[in-house]
Amino acid sequence: MMTKTIIDTFVTKNGLTVRVRPLTSSDAPFLVNIFEHMSADSRYRRFHQPLTNVSTERVWAEARSIAQAPSQVGFIAFADLPDQSNVPIGAARYVLLDDKVAEAAVSVRDDLHGQRIGSQLMSLLAEEARLRGIHKLRATIQSDNKAIIRILNRLPYPHTRTSIGPDAEVVLDLTL
């Protein structure tokens, strides 16, 4: 049950109303649900490792670790789907690396890709980071990850991309 404070509501390209609230330490079950609705390719792109036959225990341990991580800020998005209400559909968070730099990540269920949910979550996350005095958000992505590159290009902040083999380090400048 989502009883926590909604900080944003938006409508996707296909008309789905999405509600976003802060990520809390009790959100591990919602993170597991999102993970279970991600393909092997999406999992690899998000976590940078193949996660096809991962144990339930490992998934839950990682979800708890993410939900309860210190020095982080995150958001989780919910929507009413045709067959179920109040379903977790995406999440974004950053973890502080130092006083002015944080590492960011975003995940969206595969069946809702292309609806600009990731873009909206990253936009909220970047603005929150900027308001909290973070100067740069960074992330390591696969260089061929067109979806995250589109998300980055939609943000109102300039970014740099430095190739590191098959990966790239992306840095958003929140000071401009």
pLDDT above 90: residue 167: no
Q: Give residue-wise pLDDT tens across range 41-73.
A: 676 666 655 556 677 887 788 889 888 888 889
Mean pLDDT of 126-132: 96
B/e letters for 93-112, b = 16+ CB within 10 Å, e = fewer, are bbebeeeebbebbbbbbeeb
What is the enclosing helix (H) or strand (E) of 59?
Answer: helix 56-67
Q: What percent of the chain has pLDDT over 70?
A: 90
Threshold 0.85, pTM exceeds = yes
Residues linked to residue 104 through DSSP beta bridges, in sequence order = 94
CATH of 8-173, one of 3.60.15.10, 3.40.630.30, 3.40.50.300, 1.10.287.130: 3.40.630.30
